[in-house]
Structure 1
Amino acid sequence: MNSVTEKKQGRRTAQEAEQTKKAILKIAAQLFCRFGYKKVSLRQISEQANVSHSLLRYHFGSKEKIWQHISDHIYQYFQEYFQYIIDSLPQNLPANVQLYMLMNRVLACSLHDSRAITFLADAVRQEKSMVNYFLEPNRKNNQLIDGLIQKFKQDHPDSPLTSRTLRWQASMYSHTASTLEPLMLHAFESDNRQSALFAHWQQFNRLLASQLYISNEYIESPSCLDEIIVPPPKESNG
């Protein structure tokens, strides 16, 4: 076998290993969201991913390491998604309007696909070390949101809103919709989930507009949730 063939085979092997790891993480994330971290075993992940138990341990070592990889991916994904939404908005908007439109779209996406908030909610029920691991990135500067908040505070220094409380509100609205659906349907007097989700989003929209002092020209009034969702960017690595 010549060196060129060996290099090609090496690249193929590395690519196959990476694809296997991605498949394992995807299956594990689905299982964690469906059953919760404690009820999912490594053997269950290996069986669902159609890989051997030994290969699973070779790539990740433990169930907690798999969980950490997924947590890292979720955090990185949302950082990129925040920037992607901001880049999709009209240019030269005031900071408060950018925040308003950003968080409206983040919530809309989360209501449409609740896997990330389900994963986070399950983490809160686990060991303290896992919660701290998930929250650690949020202790670092979130440059995009923090920067917009700082600009907003220059015009409204008395506002109690912070980047943490803003993210908390979005998380709260996202989580309650996924875990308290029967109460949501009751609250909005609806037997249609999509209609109730949209009413839920509209409530957040009104709250956010008030907190960020959004003028009438920028108030958003879509006719349904789909109109406000910015499709997430396709992952470059898969």
Structure 2
Amino acid sequence: MTERKQGRRSAQDAEKTKCDIMCVAAELFCELGYERVSLRNISEKAGVSHSLIRHHFGSKDKIWYAISDGLHEYMEKYMGTIIEHMPKSANANEKLYFFVVHLLAHMLIAKQPIQLIADAVRQEDALFDYFIDRSGELQKIVFAIADEYNEKHPETPVKIWEIKWQMIMFAHGAASMSPFLKQTWSDETTDYDQCLLKHWDMFNQMMICRFGITESQQVKPASVADLIYDVPCEFKSE
């Protein structure tokens, strides 16, 4: 019985060590970029030996893929949470609006995914292609809502990939050029959170017009953080 407990504890400790390494590596990849990060950088910041990292992961690219898998799994859960909170009796235009403005809010607060994507674009195609997912079940749900919208509004059809591109631009702009973001509204406020809210609202207003959202259907948060759902993010390695 004692041996089993020790075995479980040992496995839990090993999983925690892997999780800690991935968290540190993710921070370094976002801060420095994939090419400039070495296993030695990761080992020094994580406070573990170089050989231990090689034991758990083998190489830098395997750490990167493990991080990407973890973030992908988390984003799937998060998008599922948005869909769960979506007004069930709403029309397709309101559902699409609700989904995209909430998803952008998360992308503005949790910057690691967009930072990793932006860095992957600068690397070999294999890294970037890893982020392109057209087959997920949640994506099918969103595309089905878009199809419903397009049937009702054939004169103004929506393309999900265009909306996705707009979200990427807004998210990446906030993540990579925050000094410009703060300068844009410097005559109104010095509070970064309020600047971020104004940045989000630019996209929000575009989507209100794009989907014909009425006053009563509009999302009006006091801060971007008010739109975030509590979905724990934990890296897990295979």
Per the normalisation by structure 1, the TM-score is: 0.88
The structural deviation recorded for 1:9 is 2.4
1:204 and 1:35 map into 2 onto residues whose CA distance is: 29
Report the equivalent of 1:64: 61
The structural deviation recorded for 1:62 is 0.8
The structural deviation recorded for 1:158 is 3.7
Matched AA of 1:149: A
The structural deviation recorded for 1:101 is 1.3
Residues 25-70 of structure 1 show CA distances to partners (whole Å, capped at 9, x for unaligned) of 1110011111111111101111211222111111111111111111
Report the equivalent of 2:230: 232
Report the equivalent of 1:173: 170
Report the equivalent of 1:118: 115
Contact 2:43 2:50 in 1 (8 A): yes
Q: 1:145 is matched with which residue: 118, 139, 142?
A: 142
SS of the residue 2:131 aligns to: helix
SS of the residue 1:139 aligns to: coil
1:224 and 1:17 map into 2 onto residues whose CA distance is: 39
Report the equivalent of 1:106: 103
Q: Alignment length, in residue pairs?
A: 232
Matched AA of 2:95: Q
Report the equivalent of 1:157: 154
Contact 1:185 1:196 in 2 (8 A): yes
RMSD (Å), alpha carbons: 2.1
Q: 1:24 is matched with which residue: 21, 25, 32?
A: 21
SS of the residue 1:134 aligns to: coil
Per the normalisation by structure 2, the TM-score is: 0.88
Report the equivalent of 1:46: 43
- Runs of 4 or more above 4 Å deviation: 235-238
1:158 and 1:21 map into 2 onto residues whose CA distance is: 52
Report the equivalent of 1:95: 92
Report the equivalent of 1:184: 181
Contact 1:81 1:233 in 2 (8 A): yes
Contact 1:46 1:56 in 2 (8 A): yes
Residues 87-116 of structure 1 show CA distances to partners (whole Å, capped at 9, x for unaligned) of 234432222212211211121222223222
The structural deviation recorded for 1:235 is 4.2
